[in-house]
Amino acid sequence: MIDSPKHQGLRNRLAEALKEKGIVDNAVLDAIRVIPRHLFLDSSFEGFAYQDKAFPIGAGQTISHPYTVAFQSQLLRVKKDDKILEIGTGSGYQTAVLVAMGARVYSVERQNELYKKTSYLLPRLGIRPKLMTFGDGYKGLPGYAPFDSIIVTAGAPFIPQPLMEQLKIGGRLIIPLGEEVQIMTELVRINETQFEKYEYGDFKFVPLLENKN
């Protein structure tokens, strides 16, 4: 678990590259500069950790591209102490970025293997989400709702109703929608019954799965 000046240099370069690709939220770029992404990957991928690439993290899942993490984090418009629900903990990298931005993060992962691995890793790195839990993200976390915002980090075939219900008024849900390719979608809760929808282009995610393995 070594984080060296060389890694720091690579992270600074990654943040610059993301800025050139259009990421303008400085809190997001600062978090990218701070979180040691190489420690979230198997050591065989360590040399590539600061390229803008997705990699396998076990259990058939991938850590999202840094650009995707930065783009979703920017769409969340995180304010300090925001209470954020994340669906799809995976490697915990996105979780760590949101915690570094000052959010109170509640994260759900449906694969026990990944849940266990990541809930062991994050505290060792000094990163403390409010809650990491093993469960089905389609249901959200009704016991902890409402949330200032919700981020889904797997491709969803439709918007799960419970996630809409668990948003505060004025809160936003960021969710990649679609089967083969996903459209990054933002849903803002206007009042009890109305939502405004915005779309931000195509992305590629592993699927949000319904049945537990």
Contact set for ligand SAH, span 180-209 (CB under 6 A): 206, 208-209
Q: Which of 28, 35, 76, 94 binds ligand SAH (CB under 6 A)?
A: 94
Structural contact between residues 65 and 55, judged by C-beta atoms closer than 8 angstroms: no
| Nearest Cα to Cα of residue 184 among 148, 153, 208 | 153
CA 98 – CA 100 distance, rounded (Å): 5
Per CB under 6 A, does 72 bind ligand SAH? no
Q: Which of 83, 110, 117, 189 binds ligand SAH (CB under 6 A)?
A: 110
| Comparison of 57 and 175: residue with beta carbon closer to ligand SAH | 57
Strands (E), 139-194: 147-152, 167-177, 182-189
| Comparison of 64 and 185: residue with beta carbon closer to ligand SAH | 64
Q: How far is CA 29 from the centre of its chain?
A: 15
CA 81 – CA 56 distance, rounded (Å): 31
| Comparison of 5 and 90: residue with beta carbon closer to ligand SAH | 90
Helices and strands per DSSP (H, E), number in the chain: 6, 9
Per CB under 6 A, does 37 bind ligand SAH? no
Residues listed for the chain = 213
CB of 9 to ligand SAH, least distance (A): 22
Per CB under 6 A, does 109 bind ligand SAH? yes
CB of 190 to ligand SAH, least distance (A): 26
Position 88, amino acid: G
Residue numbers at the binding site for ligand SAH (CB under 6 A):
57, 61-64, 69, 87-88, 90-91, 93-94, 108-111, 114, 136-138, 153-154, 206, 208-209
